[in-house]
Amino acid sequence: MKSILEKFSLEGKVAIVTGASRGLGQGIAVGLASAGADIVGVGSGDMPETEKLITDLGRKFHAIKANLISQEPIPRIVEETIKEFGKVDILVNNAGIIRREDAIDFSEENWDDVLNINLKTTFFLSQAVAKQFIAQKSGGKIINIASMLSYQGGIRVPSYTASKSAVMGITKSMANEWAGHNINVNAIAPGYMATDNTAALRSDEARNKSIEERIPAARWGTPEDLAGAAVYLASDAASYVHGFTLAVDGGWLAR
């Protein structure tokens, strides 16, 4: 029988992390590598910084350049992962975008772009990787990145709110159908994180102050704050956790 610390180990595992070039995706990828996983990083550009952080840990890193606003790259991502590592054990659907515009003026383009990458690609990449898990007869872990706006409405981000509410919903739906294949599907809902997506908010002195005052932990989160939750949900320690969205938000939703 494995000890509890052994159950948290990802030694010998292979993880695909989308949006791994910076921010939350980079933090999650490095966290998984720290626990022993080799990483396939998917991003729209090169990822030299992520690669160095992971190889410095003694883990392997393979980069796949892909624009996930369409589903066209999905088969290639799975095929290239299998060619490089022979299997896949973990998928983290982190890639996402946000568009800010008053709901009264919100454009169809801003609606479609956000829903395509945040929701549609998340579902169909999960489907493709789940098929690979089933073919391997190995089971596996899928971790979706939801949001506080999976629970709340937000302001000036209607397509983001719609996409992240739906991510929480499909996390439950996929878990219901795939748990019997030993596939765990769960999600993480980050709170206010210091990333590129929130740069405009943090540069607005009044808005930044009001946000920090509203967070019980009294600070913005960092990509590293998500690493522990990701390792947990990717590990054997979470083998009986299905369809749950774990908030990592400094207490925002509890307030």
62 SS3 class: strand
CA dihedral sign, ordered 217, 221, 227, 229: positive
Q: Which residues contact 135 (CB under 8 A, 6 or more apart)?
A: none
**Selection from 228, 171, 223, 161 nearest residue 192 by Cα:** 223
Q: Which residues contact 241 (CB under 8 A, 6 or more apart)?
A: 184, 186, 233
Assess whether 240 carries a catalytic annotation.
Answer: no
Can you tell me the distance from the alpha carbon of 65 to that of 126, in angstroms, rounded to the nearest whole number?
Answer: 18
Can you tell me the distance from the alpha carbon of 142 to that of 184, in angstroms, rounded to the nearest whole number?
Answer: 6
Q: Tokens standing for 231?
A: 């390792």
Choose the catalytic residue: 160, 192, 232, 240: 160
Q: Which residues pair with 47 in a beta bridge?
A: none
Q: Tokens standing for 75?
A: 């088969």
Q: According to DSSP H, which parts of the chain are helical? A: 4-8, 23-34, 48-55, 74-85, 108-115, 121-136, 158-178, 199-203, 205-214, 227-234
Q: Which residues are catalytic?
A: 160
